[in-house]
Amino acid sequence: MNDLRIIAPAGPGGGWDQTARALADVMAASGATGITVENVPGAGGTVGLAQLVDQEKGKPNVMMVNGLVMVGAILTNQSAVNLGMTTPVARLTGEYEVIVVPASSEVKTLADLVAKLKADTGTVAFGGGSAGGTDHILAGLVAKAAGGDVTKLNYVPFSGGGEALAAVMGGHVVAGISGYSEWAGQIASGELRALALSAPERQAGIDIPTLKEQGVDVELANWRAIVAPPGLDEAQTKALRDAVDAAVKSDAWKKVLAEKKWTDLYLPGDDFGKLLEAENARVTEILKSVGLVQ
């Protein structure tokens, strides 16, 4: 597939940009020419989404990277366009979230945290990324599963990974939530105590129990995926899906996953479309109960 344009709905350097560039590199390595990455940053990716749905409609050589964060951003920004309007191509990768407390915290285990949430949800200040983002969604899901009052969830959004990390390490919040790899170093060095991972089962090389095995029935992956504009016919959709399928099954892609420590969550075509719907329903519900969405 030549002359493909991949939109990264964020600035250079972030996860979506890296995903777009890695995919472009892998496709170029297998002989495709003229593949470009275009950065359209802003508003949790909804600026890029608006461009994809409005201006790129019906164009068979455009794709856009997206992710769980965009699902939340669409809702909180009251965006006029949503992912249901796009042509789903595939979910590519993902990362699991980790819940931590500072090493000196009196909260020793997930059970301690659950007990606190159940007793008085408002006293547990969670620190994490942007409002309505993956970290916030997980905080809501955990509070709900723990039997707490989700409407009283005390979530403190920080701008930039460093600020949230500092707030957790300094004990300014009770617990912190982030993608695992971002805080892996501090967990390894013992400055942070990891209570649980949001994966469905234990992950190789990560010695942290899952939420599920500790009795909190929640799993959440911060997935990244790729979609195409609306208005494509079946042949055009199939061509894009096949191109991505070939790229994802190449050795070059496996090398990228290993290098970047991304978890392979490849889920192609219509199954990914169904996942989008399910995630949208789940995120809508939790954001409604924490009051971010009407």
Partner 1 sequence: MEAFGALLDGFATALTPINLMWSLVGVTLGTLIGILPGIGPALTIALLLPVTRTLDPTGAFIMFAGLYYGAMYGSSTTSILLNTPGESGSIVTALEGNQMARRGRGAAALATAAIGSFVAGTIGTMLLTFLAPLFVKLAILFGPAEYFALMVLAFTTVTTLLGSSVVKGLTSLMIGLAFGLAGTDILTGQPRLVFGIPSMLRGIDTVVVAVGLFAVGEALYMASRRDLREAVILPIKGSLFMTREEWRRSWKPWLRGTALGFPFGALPAGGTEIPTFLSYFMEKKLSKNPEEFGKGAIEGVAGPEAANNAAVAGVLVPLLALGLPTSATAAILLAAFEQYNLQPGPQLFTASGPLVWGLIASLYIGNVMLLVLNLPLAGLWVRLLAIPQPLLYGGILVFSTLGVYSLSNSTFDLVLLFVVGLIGFVMRRHDFPVAPAIIGLILGPMAEAQFRRALTISQGDASVFFTHPISLALLVIAALVLLLPALIRKLPVQKL
Partner 2 sequence: MNTQRQTSVAGLLIGFGLVAIAAVIAVDVSGMRVPPVHAKVGPRFFPLLVSCGLAVAGAVTAWQSWRGTFESEESHPTDWAAVAIVSAGLILHMNLLKPLGFVPAAVVLFMCVTFAFGSRSFLRDGVVALVLAMTAYLAFTRLLGLQLPPGVLAGVL
Interface contacts to partner 1, rule CB under 8 A: 11-13, 17, 21, 25, 38-44, 46-47, 50, 72-73, 76-79, 122-123, 125, 130-132, 154, 156-163, 165-167, 169-170, 172-173, 181, 184-186, 188-189, 191, 259-260, 292
Assess 154 for contact with partner 2 (CB under 8 A). Answer: yes
Pick the binder of partner 2 from 187, 195, 208, 290 (CB under 8 A): 290
- Exposure of 162 by Cβ count < 10 A (0-12 exposed, 13-18 middle, 19+ buried)? exposed
178 φ, ψ (degrees, to nearest 5): -165, 170
**62-67 and 221-228: which strand pairing?**
antiparallel
Binding partner of 209, given partner 1, partner 2, none, CB within 5-8 angstroms per partner class? none
Provide the 10 A C-beta neighbour count for residue 277: 12
Question: Taking CB under 8 A as the rule, which mask of x and - marks residues 84-123 in contact with partner 2?
Answer: --------------------------------------x-
Task: State which residue, 107 or 232, has the beta carbon closest to partner 1.
Answer: 107
User: Considering the complex, what minimum distance in angstroms separates the CB of residue 190 from partner 2?
Assistant: 31
User: Considering the complex, what minimum distance in angstroms separates the CB of residue 154 from partner 2?
Assistant: 5
Binding partner of 294, given partner 2, partner 1, none, CB within 5-8 angstroms per partner class? partner 2
Neighbouring-strand partners of residue 226: 65, 90
Assess 33 for contact with partner 2 (CB under 8 A). Answer: no
Residue among 182, 181, 172, 229 at smallest CA distance from 53: 229
The terminus-to-terminus CA distance of the chain in angstroms comes to: 42
Give CA–CA dist 229/63, Å, rounded.
7
Binding partner of 233, given partner 1, partner 2, none, CB within 5-8 angstroms per partner class? none
User: Considering the complex, what minimum distance in angstroms separates the CB of residue 260 from partner 2?
Assistant: 20
Task: State which residue, 9 or 94, has the beta carbon closest to partner 1.
Answer: 9
Give CA–CA dist 178/191, Å, rounded.
15
Pick the binder of partner 2 from 25, 32, 38, 109 (CB under 8 A): 38
CA 277 from centroid of its chain's CA atoms? 15
Buried b (16+ CB within 10 A) or exposed e, 185-207: ebbeeebbbbbbbbbeeeeeebe
Provide the 10 A C-beta neighbour count for residue 233: 10
User: Considering the complex, what minimum distance in angstroms separates the CB of residue 83 from partner 1?
Assistant: 16
Question: Which stretches of the chain bind partner 2, using CB under 8 A?
Answer: 38-39, 122, 151-152, 154, 290-292, 294
